[in-house]
Every structure is written in C-alpha cells, then in structure tokens.
C-alpha cells in the first residue's frame, strides 16, 4: 500500500485515541479537584499540563487554573487538544478517502461538523467529555466492523495502540497530582471504563496496589499499558511478516518492535512495588519509548524524501 495511505491510517488511530484519552484525563483531573478540598489548583493544573507535554511559564505570578487547562487541552487549535485531534483525524481520513470505509469517513466528518457548536464551551463540560468518548468508541466500532484484517487495519490499530499506551501512562501519572484524595484510584479506573472489570477480576477487593497492577499489567484488559504495548508488537509483527522466519531464529530485527517489547517486558518482570515507588518517572519512561517507536515507524514506513527537482541536460 502507498506510504501516504499507511501514514494517514496510523495517525487516524493515534488522533482518535488522543481525543478519547485526553477527554478521560481532563474528566478525571477536574473531578479530583472538585472532590479534594485540600488540592492546590495552581500546582495541580501546572503538573497536569507538564504531564501532557504542554509548556508552562515558570513565573508563578499568574496562577494556572481549570480554564487554562481547558483552553489548551480541550478547545485549543493544537493537535494535542481534543478539538485539534478530531480535526487532524478527519483530515487524515480525507487524505485516505479511497481506503477508509464510507461509514468511518461519515462518522469522523459528522463529529468534526458537530464540534463548532461545542467549542463555545458547553455548560456541562463532563457531558462534552462523555460525548467525545462516545464518538471515539463509534469510530473504533466502525473500523472493527468494516475493515479487512490486512495492512490498513494493522496500521490503524498500531497507531491506536501506541497512543493508548502513551496516554494511559499519562493518566496514571496524574495519580500523583492530587495525592491527598482517597478516591483517586477509583476515579482513574472509572475513567478508563475499567472499574467493573477490575472489581470482577479482584472479587471486589479494591486496593491501590490492585488498581495499579490492573492498569499497568493486566494482559486481558484492552486499556492496560501491557496490553496496548503487546497489541502494538503484534501489529508490527504482521506488517513485517516477511522477516518473521529470521526473527524466530535470531531475535527481533524491527527497532520499533524491540522498543515496545523491551518496555513491556521491563514492566512485566519487575516487582510492582518498584514500579509504583516512582510512578511519574516510570510512566515518563513509557512515554519516551512510545515516542521513539513512533519515530522509528515513521522513518521506516512513511519516508518523506526531498522534493524532486528537474535538472536539464545542460546543467
């Protein structure tokens, strides 16, 4: 398939997942600020923006509040915001119009067309976040029902998996932002749609350790970091099927797959207490691995060479 089509599908997966997970993180963050009267809003908002990779002025003369967070992460034009991510997903679907299904294009286009009305700050911001999550789920469902399990599908799921691992790591890093709240872990679980699955897995025994273990290491829950990394590895394995025979003999040749696999195994084979002891730093390491893997994938599958220049025979 054409590299531009593969790149568009990869970024559709990433941008839709980014909008979904950003809505989840903001929903959790704002809820924790409301529920914890001891939380320092300026410190928590600065930390959240830092976790999301948004530069914040070091000068503390101007406090940073919820409105600043919403401007930058929900309604801003940058692709790191919810609105910016949905716009970018729609543009990538337009470029890959001959590959994506009519249903997927219609869903992304309808979502984008609905955003201008919502940009004017809906009165119930949590309902807006819920709407974003529903639209992302519809896109995922349409892709699951209408796409053949070939290269386009693998690129879409690969992008979604890398973004999901990255954003779940960011979501877990927000656990330290409002550390005085005893409700932090239940709220995080609910934000991932994981609370009921978590209670069934651990027979109703809900502890901080079990919650961290579930979101970090559970191989069966689709939003855990280990599951997302494993799914990304599987997609890369399918995309480089011609090399699978050599991989079985001498290891893994694909640098992106090696990065994801090393990060996954490092989480799986270390003691949970060691990982949780410095959770923000560990999650930052996961984010760096996802970024590095994405860069390797881009250089391998989406090369952007220099523009062709015509040269006369006399030059």
Which pair of tokens denotes residue 107? 């869903």
> H-helix or E-strand containing 250?
helix 244-250
Residue 305 or residue 89, greater confidence: 89
**Structure tokens that stand for 119 in this block:** 């940009």
What token pair was written down for 237? Answer: 């394995």
Q: Which of 162, 179, 302 is nearest to 233 (CA)?
A: 162
Q: Is the pLDDT of residue 154 over 90?
A: yes
237-240 long-range contacts, Cβ below 8 Å, gap at least 24? 238/154, 239/151, 239/154, 239/155, 239/158, 239/301
Of the given ranges (171-175, 226-230, 310-314), which has the lowest mean pLDDT? 310-314
CA angle 217/218/219 to nearest 5° reads: 105
CA-to-CA distance for 315 and 208, rounded, in angstroms? 71
Kindly indicate the confidence band of residue 146, based on its pLDDT and cuts at 50, 70 and 90: very high
**Three-class SS of residue 45?**
helix
The predicted structure's pLDDT at residue 176: 60
Residues 246, 293, 89: CA angle, nearest 5 degrees: 120
Instruction: Decide: 208 and 176 in contact? Cβ < 8 Å.
Output: no
Highest mean pLDDT among 10-19, 57-66, 116-125, 168-177: 10-19
Average pLDDT, the chain: 86
- Within 8 A by CB and 6+ apart from 276, the residues are 209, 212, 282
- pLDDT for the residue numbered 186: 79
At 54, list the tokens.
Answer: 């948004």
pLDDT at 209: 85
Angle between helices 279-301 and 225-239 (to 10 degrees): 10
| Residue 315 pLDDT | 38
């Amino acid at each position: 398939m054409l590299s531009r089509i593969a790149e568009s599908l990869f970024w559709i997966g990433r941008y839709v997942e980014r909008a979904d997970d950003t809505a989840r993180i903001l929903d959790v963050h704002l809820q924790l600020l409301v529920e914890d009267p001891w939380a320092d809003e300026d410190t928590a908002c600065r930390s959240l923006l830092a976790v999301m990779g948004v530069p914040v002025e070091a000068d503390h003369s101007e406090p940073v509040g919820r409105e600043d967070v919403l401007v930058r992460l929900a309604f801003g034009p940058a692709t790191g915001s919810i609105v910016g991510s949905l716009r970018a997903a729609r543009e990538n679907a337009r470029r890959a119009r001959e590959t994506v299904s009519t249903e997927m294009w219609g869903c992304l286009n309808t979502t984008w067309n609905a955003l201008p009305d919502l940009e004017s700050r809906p009165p119930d911001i949590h309902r807006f976040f819920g709407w974003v999550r529903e639209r992302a789920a519809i896109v995922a469902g349409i892709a699951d029902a209408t796409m053949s399990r070939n290269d386009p599908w693998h690129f879409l799921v690969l992008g979604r998996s890398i973004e999901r691992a990255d954003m779940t790591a960011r979501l877990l890093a927000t656990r330290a932002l409002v550390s005085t709240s005893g409700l932090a872990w239940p709220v995080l679980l609910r934000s991932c749609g994981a609370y009921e699955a978590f209670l069934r897995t651990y027979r109703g025994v809900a502890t901080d350790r079990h919650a961290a273990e579930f979101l970090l290491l559970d191989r069966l829950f689709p939003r855990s970091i280990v599951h997302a990394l494993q799914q990304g590895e599987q997609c890369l394995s399918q995309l480089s099927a011609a090399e699978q025979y050599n991989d079985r003999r001498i290891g893994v040749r694909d640098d992106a797959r090696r990065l994801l696999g090393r990060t996954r195994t490092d989480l799986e084979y270390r003691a949970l207490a060691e990982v949780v002891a410095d959770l923000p730093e560990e999650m930052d390491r996961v984010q760096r691995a996802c970024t590095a893997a994405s860069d390797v994938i881009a250089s391998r599958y989406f090369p952007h060479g220099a523009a062709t220049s015509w040269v006369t025979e006399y030059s």
